[in-house]
Chains A and B, each alone.
Chain A
Amino acid sequence: MKRHGIAFRLAALILSCAFVILAAIVAYNYAYSRAIILRQSETNSRHLAQETASRIDSVLLSVQKVANNIAYSLEDASLSREDILNLNKRVIANNPEIFGMAIAFEPYTQEPERLYFAPYHFRSGGRIAFTMLGSPDYRYFYMDWYQLPKELEQAVWTEPYNDQGGGGVVMATYAVPFFRNQDGKKVFAGVVTADISLEWLQDMLDDIRIFDTGFAFLLSRHGTFIAHPNRKLIMNHTIFSLAEEMETPEFRQVGRDMIEGKNAFVRIDESIFGNERYLFHTGLEYGGWSLGVLFPRSEMLAEVHKLSNVMALIGLTGFALLALVIIYIARRITRPLTELSQSALEIASGNLDLMLPEVRTNDEVGDLAGSFKVMTNSLKEYIANLTTATAAKERIESELRIAREIQMGILPKLFPAFPDRTEFEVFASIEPAKEVGGDLYDFFFVDDTHFCFLVGDVSGKGVPAAFFMAVTKTLLKVVAEKGLDPGQILTKVNADLASENESCMFVTLFLAIIDIETGETRYANAGHNPPIHLPCGGEPCWIPPFGEPVAGVMDGMEYSTRTMTMAPGDILFIYTDGVTEAMNPEQDLYSDERLMRTVAEMPERFAPALVKTVNDSVAAFARGAEPSDDITMLAMQFCGKCDK
């Protein structure tokens, strides 16, 4: 796993919390302001549409008023042709919203000799043009704008139409009938029309911007498009035919509602225009028209998006600032730690004189730095003490080692010890314990035919035991060479050792003297482990102890001598308790039984081989456990006339 420092973890933890909190605030704010803005946008668009509707209505109303006034004034039959033309022209000049105005009379009414009398003033290229309507090709009596008011006897708005008679544009016409008194009766005398150019209406609607791509459109009372940014639709399509073409049946319902002059806010699914839109529609007061305002939802929400962008920006900036501050603080806290850690590593590698980095903060890190200083000083002191102690210990150890070497040096180590002697074979080994111990062995001729050999074990360990051992060995040799019996030798040596032995040290000894011509062996035992007699070709057996005590303790002890005869090939195996009391790691003893078994199972009965076999067996048993006592063995093989 990648390792992250405290600074990183601290920053990560705090920043993720801060991020969650900031995100929650921004999200809540977004949702809340979105609702407000949506409501506001809906109201705005409603107002806008209504305002537009009012504007159109006011135009229509003024057109209506003008036409009504003219119709009223035309009821005066005394008006001359000139008056009528002037009136007509003045109206156009004074009312920019009116495209054109016709005053159409019933045949032969104004001028008895004329079938057609319909002066028409209209706008054309920035001027006011004039024409007289009516010709065999344009019999205006049959036009809607003439017929409808005449029959209904009231003012009407015609359906928009493409005028062929005069203006040559697409227009909607307000037509007002006027009457004259004839014989006391009101008689229909003609129609006054005021035209509105749909072009002009469209221009007016074009000025209304609803968000970015929103637009307004007008439907006639039959659902025909009167105004729409897409001018191809005007007069060519109804909302129903469009619904058919776009395969959007829901528009039919919208169209029906609009024609009925209903007022509604409709959501339009994104499957129709590719984005979600809103349609607000309202009926106009005049002409039976209705106004629709269509705009994309996204634009309505643009404010919301702008707001949330700003909020996200503020949030991110705050987050970044917070991150910088936290990282700065975390670094400030951990920098001394890092420095301390590096110093600690260097101290660990042994440089105790390293100056610790100065940490002045009065906090936990400062405490740590203080502790480090104390630790370094303690370590220095400790190491100084240890160095002194170690030097002293090494000196003592080296002296002990030298003592050990001297001690070992006084034991005969060269084998075969008597290569020119065929009568016997003697072999001994000592496996010294780590501590200085007190085992000893020796062999020497006391005269030409008598050969003395012995094994001893001084109680205890260390330098005192080594001294005691050296003294014992020297005494033994000196006394033995006087030609005494083994028992007498031990009695004498015991007396010498015991006389000045305040420390209660003692030594166990087995000493034998063999006549190398006859094999007769005399021996004495001072508390030593029973040796093994291994007859040539027979079963080995213990040489039983006499129960005579260890040497060096009691003055005046008498030791007895016993005699046995060794046949050629017989081996006498003497050892110390380092053999039988060798321990394995489970602290089990090697034991007498195991020793006897090992000796009995020896295939080749030869003194050096016997010592080696027992040594190997003990080592295998101990399995590497440190020997606590010297392991000493001596094997004496009598050969006589037997071949070696």
Chain B
Amino acid sequence: MEFSSSKHGDKLVVTVAGRMDAITAQEFDTQCRQWLAAGDTNVIADLSGLEYISSAGLRSILSAAKQLKGAQGSLAFCNLSGMVEEVFVVSGFAAMFTMHPTLEDALAG
């Protein structure tokens, strides 16, 4: 799994690519702790490059969201497609989190 991030105003855009499964999911958690340490609490995750997400991946997203919420921050998602979008819908994550079709929408929202 690969991460890259860029600042847009007070929002941090994180691009996640690759596979988020039981082995790599922990990284998302670790990254989240780094954002918090850097003071970034409003995070938009661009999942356009994410090929696969397992239940362990969902759990680390939940964990990250909880941490950000604890710091009065927010976690939103954009650019979901294919299998990942399906998983988000099926698991109800699409209902739990703020979802945006594109990064522009996310930045505007």
- Tell me the complex Cα distance, A457–B55, Å: 9
Q: Would A550 and B58 be within 8 Å (CB), given that A628-B21, A628-B22 are in contact?
A: yes
Contacts of B96 in A (CB 8 A): 549, 553-554
The answer to whether the Cβ of B103 comes within 8 Å of any Cβ in the partner chain is: no
Once the chains are docked, how many angstroms separate the CA of A473 from the CA of B22?
23
**Is B54 within 8 A of A629, CB to CB?**
yes
| A residues 491-510 in Cβ contact with B at 8 Å | 503-506, 508
Q: In the complex, how many angstroms separate the beta carbon of A526 from the nearest chain B beta carbon?
A: 7
Query: Counting CB contacts under 8 A, is B95 at the interface?
Result: yes
Tell me which residues across on chain A come within 8 A of B92, comparing CB atoms. 526-527, 547-550
For the complex, is A107 an interface residue (Cβ under 8 Å from B)?
no
Chain A residues within 8 Å of B93, by CB:
527, 549-550
> How long is the Cα–Cα vector from A503 to B92 in the complex, in angstroms?
19
Which residues of A lie under 8 Å from residue B56 when comparing CB positions? 459-461
Residues B90 and A504 in contact, CB atoms below 8 Å apart: no
**Cβ-defined partner of B95 (8 Å) among A505, A549, A581:** A549
| Chain B residue, CB-CB nearest to A577 | B55
Q: How far is the CB of B19 from chain A (nearest CB, A)?
A: 8
Bound-complex Cα distance A527 to B88 (A): 9
Query: With A and B bound together, what is the CA distance between A577 and B56 in angstroms?
Result: 12
Quick one: closest A residue to B90, CB to CB? Answer: A545
Residues facing A in B78-109 (CB within 8 A) are 83, 89-96
User: A528 at interface (Cβ–Cβ under 8 A)?
Assistant: yes
Our pick among B59, B89, B90 for the contact of A505 (Cβ within 8 Å) is B59
Tell me whether B76 is interfacial, beta carbon within 8 Å: no
Q: Does B1 contact A (CB under 8 A)?
A: no
- With contacts A549-B96, A554-B96, A589-B52 taken as known, whether A459 is within 8 angstroms of B58 at the C-beta atoms is yes
Q: Is A529 an interface residue (CB 8 A)?
A: yes
Interface positions of A from 567 to 592, Cβ below 8 Å from B: 577, 581, 589
A530 in the interface (beta carbon within 8 A): yes
Q: Given the complex of chains A and B, what is the CA–CA distance between A550 and B62 in angstroms?
A: 11
Which residues from chain B contact A526 at a C-beta distance below 8 Å? 92
Chain B residues bordering chain A, tally (CB within 8 A): 20
Residue-wise, chain B 55-71 has the 8 Å CB interface mask toward A (1 for contact) of 11011001100100000
Q: Is the interface of B mostly helix, strand, loop or mixed?
A: helix
Give Cα A457–Cα B56 distance, bound, in whole angstroms.
Answer: 11
Judge whether B91 and A549 touch: CB under 8 Å: yes
Residues of B within 8 A of A506 (CB): 58-59, 62
Within 8 A of A (CB), among B22-39: 22
A444 → B minimal CB distance (Å): 25
Establish whether residues A508 and B91, one from each chain, have CB atoms under 8 Å apart when the complex forms: yes
Residue of B nearest to A549 (CB): B92
Identify which of A460, A530, A554 contacts B55 (C-beta below 8 A): A460
Closest Cβ–Cβ distance, residue B93 to chain A (whole Å): 7
Q: How far is A78 from B7 in the complex, measured between Cα atoms in Å?
A: 168
Given the complex of chains A and B, what is the CA–CA distance between A530 and B58 in angstroms? 17
CB distance from A156 to the nearest CB of B (A): 134
Bound Cα distance A550, B59 (Å) = 10
Among A459, A528, A554, A581, the residue within 8 A (CB) of B59 is A459
- Least CB distance from B96 to A in Å reads 5
The complex places the Cα of A527 from the Cα of B95 at a distance, in Å, of 10
Most interface-central of B66, B90, B95, B96 (chain A CB within 10 A) = B90
- Known: A504-B63, A508-B55, A549-B96. Is A460-B91 also a contact (CB below 8 A)? no
CB neighbours (8 Å) of A457 from chain B are 55
**Residue from the list B22, B89, B94 in contact with A461, Cβ < 8 A:** B22
Cβ proximity bits A499-537 to B, threshold 8 Å, 1 near / 0 not: 000011110100000000000000000111110000000
The 8 Å CB contact of A530, one of B21, B62, B90, is B90
Q: How far is the CA of A589 from the CA of B84 in the complex (A)?
A: 13
Given A504-B62, A589-B52, list of 6 further CB < 8 A pairs? A506-B59, A549-B95, A550-B93, A553-B96, A589-B83, A628-B21
A-B complex: 6 closest residue pairs judged by Cβ atoms = A549-B92, A527-B91, A459-B55, A459-B59, A527-B92, A504-B63
A-B contact pairs, 17 of them (CB 8 A): A459-B55, A460-B22, A460-B59, A503-B63, A508-B91, A528-B90, A529-B90, A545-B89, A545-B90, A549-B92, A549-B93, A550-B58, A553-B96, A577-B54, A589-B52, A628-B21, A628-B22
B positions within 8 Å CB-CB of A = 21-22, 52, 54-56, 58-59, 62-63, 66, 83, 89-96
